[in-house]
Structure 1
Amino acid sequence: MTLVDAADTAASAWLGALKLLAGSQRNGYFRQTPGGTAEIVTGAPFPSLNGVAAVTRDPSPDEIAELAASPRLAEVAWTIHVRGDDVEERIVEVAAKHGLTGSMPLPFMIRELTEADAADVPAARRITNADSVAYQRTMAAGFEAPEPLFTIFAEPAVIELPGATGYLLEVDGVPVATSFGLQVGDQVGVFNIATPPAFRRKGYGRLATAAVLSDAYKAGARTAFLHATPDGLPLYQAMGFELAENWTVFAAGA
């Protein structure tokens, strides 16, 4: 499979992961048009987890405009995701009409999994509902943001999603990193890699990521995908992830 084909498959799996997340929430909503554009409402206090996403290589401005006008999006902070750097002007205009006047590139990375990824990560513990407080607290510290923002990720409805695996990485009983995987078919999305400042640059983020890949490979996943932050990009490249493409994200005040 070429990198282009792999990116197409992984992009569809990313959308599938967001569909699962939206479906886990009491007021969540997901609708996908025939052209591959989706309206996503998870209710999470992060704009990137609500909004409109077009995962085809030829996104429809009309479909994006239709979904962007949804009254459901008026209740949440939201974004528009479009694959690629070169975005049609009509899509830019739709985003601006809704106050999404800022745009930023979002690296989309993929990695083929191999038998070597099945190696256990002894320091990583797969979480249960009993670990939700420690998991949420460690994640919030890693992202340097208030704990309540991360409540959704520690809820039983999310932790127990089909294909979901959350992890706490611990050293001498102290949580030092988190990670979360969500498997869709033979693809696994890597999310919520977070290491509190005091524990950074010690390889813990890498181990937390490896824990997701290990269990996912054992469960039948053969490709991993993720969106990388600028700080995380070198880590994922060192782990063998390839930059498949940039996505463009339109957000308010970006």
Structure 2
Amino acid sequence: MTLVDTADIAARAWLGALKLLAGSQRDGWFSQTPGGTAEIVTGAPFPSLNGVAAITRDPSPDEIAELAASPRLNDVAWTIHVRGDDVDQRIVGVADKHGLTGSMPLPFMVRELTAADAADVPTARRITSSDSMSYQRTMAAGFEAPEPLFTIFAEPAVVELPGASGYLVEVDGVPVATSFGLLVGDQVGVFNIAVPPAFRRKGYGRVATAAVLRDAYAAGARTAFLHATPDGFPLYRAMGFELAENWTVFASGA
């Protein structure tokens, strides 16, 4: 299978993961057009988890315009996701019309899983409902943002989704990193790799990522995918992830 094929499958799995997240929320919404464009409302206080996403390589500006006009997006901060760097100017126009005047590249990375990923990760453990506050607090510290923003990720409705798994990495009983994995078929999305500033450059982000890959491989996943931040990109490269493509994200004030 080529990297292009792998990226296509992983992109569909990413959208499937967002569908699961939206479905876990009382006021969540997910709909998808036959052309592969989706409207997503999770209600999370992060624009990247609400909005319009086009996962085909030739997205329809008309579909994006139609979904971008949805009244459901009026109550949330949202974005438009399009695969690739070279975006149709009609889509740029749709984004501008809705005040999404900034754009940024978002690396989409993939990695084949192998039996080597089944190795034990002794300092990482899968969280239970009793770990919610510690998980939320550690994640917030890692992203250097207020704790309430991360409530959704610690809710049982999310952590207990079919195929979902949240992890804490601990050293001498102290939480030093978080991660979250979500299985979609034989793909696993890697999310919420967060390491508080005091614990960075010690390999804990690698451990948190490895915990997701370990359990996902055991559950039948054979490909992992993620969107990388600038800080995380070198780590994922070192762990064998390949840059499949950049996506373009339109956001307010990006």
- The TM-score range, normalised by the shorter chain, is over 0.9
Aligned equivalent of 1:155: 155
- Distance across 1 between alignment mates of 2:6 and 2:43: 30
Q: Mark the runs of 5 or more structure 1 residues left unpaired by the alignment.
A: none
**Cα offset, 1:64, TM superposition:** 0.1
Distance 2:120 2:47 in 1: 34
Aligned amino acid, residue 106 of structure 2: L
> Is 2:160 aligned against 1:167?
no
Report the alpha carbon displacement of residue 143 of structure 1 after superposing the two structures with TM: 0.1
How far does residue 53 in structure 1 lie from its aligned partner after superposition? 0.1
1:151-193 residue CA offsets vs partner (Å, 9 max, x unmatched):
0000000000000010000000000000000000000000000
Which residue does the alignment assign to 2:59? Answer: 59
Q: Aligned with 2:236: secondary structure?
A: helix
- Report the counterpart of residue 195 of structure 2 in structure 1: 195
The residue aligned with 1:26 is 26
d(CA) in 2 for partners of 1:247 and 1:59?
12
Deviations 1:103-154 (A, max 9, x none): 0000000000000001110100100110000000000000000000000000
What displacement does 1:230 show?
Answer: 0.5
What's the offset of the Cα at 1:222? 0.1
SS in 1 for 2:142: helix
Q: State the distance in 2 between where 1:120 and 1:159 align.
A: 22
**Counterpart mapping for 1:121-136 below 5 A:** 121-136=121-136
What does the per-residue CA deviation read over 1:64-120, in whole Å, with 9 as the maximum and x for residues that have no partner? 000000000001000000000000000000000000000000000000000000111
Give me the TM-score of the superposition, normalised by structure 2.
1.00
Name structure 2 gaps, 5 residues minimum: none
CA distance in 2, matches of 1:120, 1:187: 20
Render the CA deviation track for 1:176-224: whole Å, top value 9, x for unaligned. 0000000000000000000000000000000000000000000000000
After TM superposition, the structure 1 = structure 2 runs for residues 191-230 of structure 1, keeping only pairs within 5 Å, are: 191-230=191-230
For 1:237, the equivalent position in structure 2 comes to 237
Q: What is the letter of the counterpart of residue 113 of structure 1?
A: L
**Counterpart Cα distance in 2 of 1:47 and 1:26:** 18
Q: Which residue of 2 aligns with 1:69?
A: 69
The whole-number CA distance in structure 2 between the counterparts of 1:237 and 1:21 is: 27
SS of corresponding position for 2:253: coil
Please, what is the CA RMSD of the aligned residues? Answer: 0.2
Report what 1:17 is aligned to: 17
| Residue matched to 1:4 | 4
Report 1:85-164 matches (<5 A).
85-164=85-164
CA distance in 2, matches of 1:157, 1:90: 38
> Separation in 2 of the partners of 1:75 and 1:33?
22
SS of alignment partner, residue 214 of structure 2: helix
| CA distance in structure 2 between the aligned counterparts of 1:118 and 1:54, rounded to whole angstroms | 33
